[in-house]
C-alpha cells in the first residue's frame, strides 16, 4: 500500500511538472491531456485516475497554492489589526521558501483565466476578504479593486524579481505612493 501511495504521489508531481513545462511552450487552451501524460511519462489512464481533465488539474493546483498562501497570510498577520502596505514585506518573506520552489508554477498559473478558474482573481478576492476581516471596514468596489491590484501586482513583481525586498525599498515605495495619491 505504501508503495502504491508513493507511486501515486510521484505521478501527480510528474503531471504537475509536465503541465507547467507545457505552459511555457503554449497557452492553456492548446494543451491536451495526452501531451501532459506523455511529458509526465505516464499513460492517459493514470492522468484520469488523479484528475477529471486539464481544468480539474488547473483548479486543484490553484487551490493548493491559495491554501498555502492563505496559511502564510494568516500566520503573518495574526493578531495584527492593520493591513498597511508595510506588511507587504512580511507577507512576501513568509512566502519566500514556497515561491522559490514553485516560482515558475505560480507565474504560469497566474496567467490563466478560463472564466471559471482564475488564480489571480481568487488571490485578489482572498486578500480583500482578509483586509475586511482584519479592519472590519467595508470597501467600495473601486477601493477593493485598487487594494487588490496593489497587493497582487506587487506580489507578481516580487516573484519575478526573485529577491528579498528590503524595508527601505518598501518605505521608499510607500512615500512615492502617498505623494502620488496626495
Three-state SS annotation for 10-37: HHHHHHHHHHHHHHHHCCHHHCCHHHHH
Angle of the 87-110 helix axis to the 2-25 helix axis, nearest 10: 80
Residues of the chain with pLDDT under 50: 1, 83, 85
Q: What is the pLDDT of residue 92?
A: 56
Q: What is the pLDDT of residue 20?
A: 97
Q: What is the pLDDT of residue 122?
A: 94
Q: What is the pLDDT of residue 1?
A: 46
Spatial contact of 41 and 12, defined as CB atoms under 8 Å apart: no
Amino acid at each position: 500500500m505504501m508503495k502504491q501511495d508513493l507511486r501515486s504521489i510521484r505521478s501527480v508531481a510528474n503531471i504537475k511538472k509536465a503541465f507547467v513545462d507545457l505552459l511555457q511552450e503554449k497557452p492553456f487552451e492548446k494543451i491536451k491531456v495526452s501531451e501532459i501524460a506523455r511529458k509526465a511519462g505516464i499513460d492517459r489512464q493514470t492522468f484520469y485516475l488523479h484528475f477529471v481533465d486539464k481544468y480539474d488539474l488547473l483548479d486543484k493546483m490553484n487551490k493548493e497554492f491559495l491554501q498555502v498562501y492563505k496559511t502564510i497570510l494568516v500566520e503573518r498577520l495574526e493578531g495584527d489589526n492593520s493591513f498597511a502596505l508595510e506588511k507587504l514585506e512580511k507577507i512576501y518573506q513568509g512566502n519566500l521558501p514556497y515561491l522559490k520552489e514553485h516560482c515558475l508554477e505560480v507565474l504560469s498559473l497566474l496567467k490563466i483565466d478560463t472564466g471559471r478558474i482564475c488564480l489571480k482573481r481568487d488571490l485578489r478576492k482572498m486578500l480583500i476578504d482578509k483586509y475586511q476581516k482584519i479592519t472590519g471596514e467595508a470597501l467600495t468596489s473601486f477601493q477593493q479593486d485598487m487594494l487588490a491590484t496593489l497587493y497582487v501586482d506587487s506580489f507578481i513583481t516580487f516573484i519575478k524579481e526573485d529577491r528579498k525586498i528590503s524595508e527601505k525599498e518598501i518605505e521608499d515605495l510607500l512615500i512615492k505612493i502617498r505623494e502620488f495619491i496626495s
